Amino acid sequence: MTTTANLDDIYYQALLEKDSSYEGTFIVGVKTTGIFCRPTCRARKPKRDNVEFFNNAKEALQKGYRSCKVCKPMEQYGTTPANIKTILDELSADPSLKLRDYDLVKRGIDPAWLRRWFIRNHGMTFHAYQRMYRINTAFKKIKGGDKITDAAFSSGFESLSGFTDSFKSVFGISPRNSKENKVIDLCRIESPLGTMFACATEEGLCLLEFSDRKMLETSFKSLARQLNATILQGDNPHFDLLRQQLEEYFSGRRNEFSVPLHMPGSAFQQQVWKSLQQIPFGQTRSYSQQAQQLQKPGAVRAVANANGMNRISILVPCHRIIGSDGSLTGYGGGVWRKKWLLDLEKRIATAGSESISIF
């Protein structure tokens, strides 16, 4: 099993490399200066013997450390800047809204800075994000029975030909031939363990993965193929409930989820994923125990493979599966995240109804 010492070594390496994927995971206290920092601090790196690690800023403060003036660890990392959040809220309220560089400058926003932020956080430019959002909105209107012309113009397109060209570039077919197509909505969610991507259909959440997972692109492609759908940036009612319940989970106020799930897969995969959701909060199971629960004791490898195909992290808790010897086995989000989640759940289960702050 991964020990605390080993995890500290992992954290120290992340500190040396200024690894942003560890933001929100730990705080480092520098014994020689009495300062605590976030993992990506630009200050000169201390020696391994001169640091200790904490789960959050509160623990560092209680130990007598002061906040670093360089990396400002008291400010939550990765959250959407207020001016960008305002724009996203406006787009959500009125998808036909089109903000050009001139409009951004009038708001005091540097278009080049906004472009970089969207590429880094959404994988596309701001203007591409706006186009995708409009296409998603128009598509849903067409599926809801609106005429193609009405859907195009009410979603902010200035010409029917422009809308048709944009629609074809995304879906590969014209709007008139899109009745059998579906859209999977995509959004970005910040968590204490890093950025996550969520996907949802009308039926429910169908993906929740950390943005740095190596198999993420493969998961997107297989999900789109299984549902015969196109993944686009867009709003979905399930996202609001997901954000709320994840916040409650990470703050120690929730140990089960009620977000509807939409999990395409074989009958066997469905059984395995359901068994994951039946593992009690704060507890773990081995692959062998999971196979026995499914009354398939000889299918340990098949059960492990099905666990690996789970696309919904945390809510379908494959992180609660460990090796038969108690070791932490592989986890798509990284073994260090797996240990973090198990430690959190153990603390919550031990504390009972008491709230645990990890920020």
User: Quick check: is 41 catalytic?
Assistant: no
In the chain, the largest separation of any two C-alpha atoms, in whole Å, equals: 68
9: number of CA atoms within 13 Å, CB side? 5
Only one residue has tokens 């959701």, namely 277
199 within 8 A of 223, measured Cβ to Cβ: yes
CA distances from 50 to 131, 289, 329 (A): 50, 42, 31
Angle, CA 129 vertex, CA 89 and CA 316 arms, to 5°: 75
By CB atoms closer than 10 A (0-12, 13-18, 19+), residue 278 is: exposed
Alpha carbons 189 and 85: distance in angstroms, whole number: 13
Which tokens go with 33? 């200066």
Mode of pairing for the β-strands spanning 51-54 and 27-30 = antiparallel
Q: Which of 197, 249, 192, 189 is nearest to 25 (CA)?
A: 192
CA distances from 53 to 29, 77, 328, 331 (A): 6, 17, 21, 23
* Residue 114, helix vs strand vs coil: helix
Which tokens go with 282? 């704060």
Mode of pairing for the β-strands spanning 285-286 and 35-37 = unpaired
184 within 8 A of 201, measured Cβ to Cβ: yes
Q: First CA to last CA across the chain, in angstroms?
A: 26
Catalytic residue annotation: 318
